[in-house]
């Protein structure tokens, strides 16, 4: 697994370097510099989106068992930082988030179940956003080879999301436990009991459809709001697009990055996607690549401090455990 992550990272770096060389370093640097103040707007927009996503996650907790809003927002920033900046295949941050939730005395299975559901809702709403972007692209540009490729990609994504959602039904826990028993030579693992607890909590989360719908509404609004980053950055670089065109670029660009979840940060893949999509609206490769870099500035600006916050929380936990052990029961 470590070798695969290294290979994916090196492949991403290679692809990024090739796109940068092809786009022209001078053009990219000039376009990124011209973004100027727009970079601050992109960072602020991203921060606002993560705050909203923290609230969306909190909604999924049952009444009386929820984390505080501030804690959910903090952990949502940490989840995003780990997923975007570390080689964890875009899911390690969610595991970290579930663990950190227990630092505030949240039930581990419940924290895991709410994050599981939150990720599922986020994936489903991203699919809807990408489908809307593809439809808008068809309306704006008509049928094309890119539209057909995107439609094929969305069909594969729909199949993947369907499997992911099916696994969250009660039958899913049976399948996973069957795999665990086979790996354990037919013996019952302690992990099977944890899976049962997790799926029981997951069922309780989905038994509150209004809360799930509220979470989905926020996530969908966040996806659309993300188009502001594209709209503002390209406008500042001297390549104004309509908000509908920004939605097309953002929705399909995010879909491309999501498909490359194994590559840390979607490095290279995100850049290639933006170059191809921006070309549809007459935007040269240099500014298109600069758009991707502006977004990565937001990733780093908001991600690095929360990676530090994560380590600070882990450090404080490690220091308090011996003290608690000395006090005894």
The string of pLDDT tens digits covering residues 252-289 is 998 888 776 666 666 667 888 888 899 989 999 888 88
Closest CA to 24 of 292, 308, 288: 288
The pLDDT of residue 88: 66
The pLDDT of residue 327: 47
Phi, psi of 67 (to 5 degrees): -80, 160
What is the domain count for the chain?
Answer: 1
pTM attached to this predicted model? 0.84
Between helices 209-225 and 37-59, what is the axis angle to 10°? 170
Closest CA to 168 of 217, 192, 204, 193: 204
pLDDT in tens, 200-240: 888 888 889 999 999 999 999 999 999 999 999 999 989 99
One digit per residue, pLDDT tens: the chain, 329 residues?
Answer: 455 555 555 555 565 555 555 555 555 656 666 677 888 999 999 999 999 999 999 999 988 888 899 999 999 999 999 988 887 666 688 889 999 999 998 888 899 889 989 999 999 999 999 999 999 999 998 877 878 888 888 888 888 888 877 777 655 555 555 544 554 455 555 556 666 777 788 888 888 999 999 999 999 999 999 999 999 999 998 999 999 999 999 999 988 887 766 666 666 678 888 888 999 899 998 888 889 888 988 988 999 999 999 999 998 887 776 544 444 44
Instruction: Using alpha carbons only, give the angle 154, 160, 164 rounded to the nearest 5 degrees.
Output: 140
User: How many C-beta atoms surround the C-beta of residue 143 within 10 A?
Assistant: 9
Contact between residue 135 and residue 150 where contact means Cβ atoms under 8 Å apart: no
What is the domain range of residue 31?
A: 2-327
User: What's the burial of 315, exposed, middle or buried (CB within 10 Å: 0-12/13-18/19+)?
Assistant: exposed
The pLDDT of residue 161: 83
The pLDDT of residue 28: 60
């Amino acid at each position: 697994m470590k070798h695969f992550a290294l290979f994916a990272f090196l492949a991403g770096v290679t692809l990024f370097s090739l796109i940068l060389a092809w786009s022209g370093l001078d053009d990219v640097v000039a376009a990124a510099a011209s973004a100027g103040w727009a970079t601050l707007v992109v960072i602020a927009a991203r921060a606002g989106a993560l705050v909203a996503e923290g609230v969306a996650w909190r909604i999924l907790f049952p009444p009386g068992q929820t984390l505080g809003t501030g804690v959910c927002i903090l952990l949502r920033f940490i989840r995003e930082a780990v997923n975007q900046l570390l080689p964890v295949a875009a899911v390690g941050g969610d595991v970290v988030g579930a663990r950190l939730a227990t630092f505030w005395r949240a039930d581990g299975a419940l924290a895991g179940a709410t994050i599981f559901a939150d990720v599922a809702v986020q994936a489903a709403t991203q699919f809807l956003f990408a489908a809307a972007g593809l439809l808008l692209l068809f309306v704006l540009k008509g049928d094309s080879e890119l539209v057909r490729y995107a439609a094929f990609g969305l069909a594969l994504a729909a199949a993947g999301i369907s499997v992911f959602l099916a696994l969250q039904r009660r039958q899913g826990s049976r399948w996973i436990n069957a795999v665990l028993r086979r790996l354990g030579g037919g013996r019952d693992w302690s992990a099977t009991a944890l899976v049962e607890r997790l799926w029981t909590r997951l069922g309780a989360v989905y038994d509150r459809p209004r809360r799930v719908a509220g979470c989905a509404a926020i996530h969908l609004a966040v996806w659309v709001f993300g188009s502001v980053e594209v709209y503002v950055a390209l406008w500042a670089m001297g390549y104004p697009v309509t908000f509908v065109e920004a939605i097309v670029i953002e929705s399909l660009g995010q879909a491309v990055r999501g498909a490359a979840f194994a590559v840390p940060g979607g490095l290279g893949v995100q850049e290639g996607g933006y170059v191809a999509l921006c070309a549809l609206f007459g935007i040269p490769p240099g500014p298109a690549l600069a758009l991707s870099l502006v977004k990565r500035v937001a990733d780093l600006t908001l991600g690095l401090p929360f990676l530090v916050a994560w380590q600070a929380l882990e450090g404080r936990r490690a220091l308090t455990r011996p003290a608690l052990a000395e006090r005894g029961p």
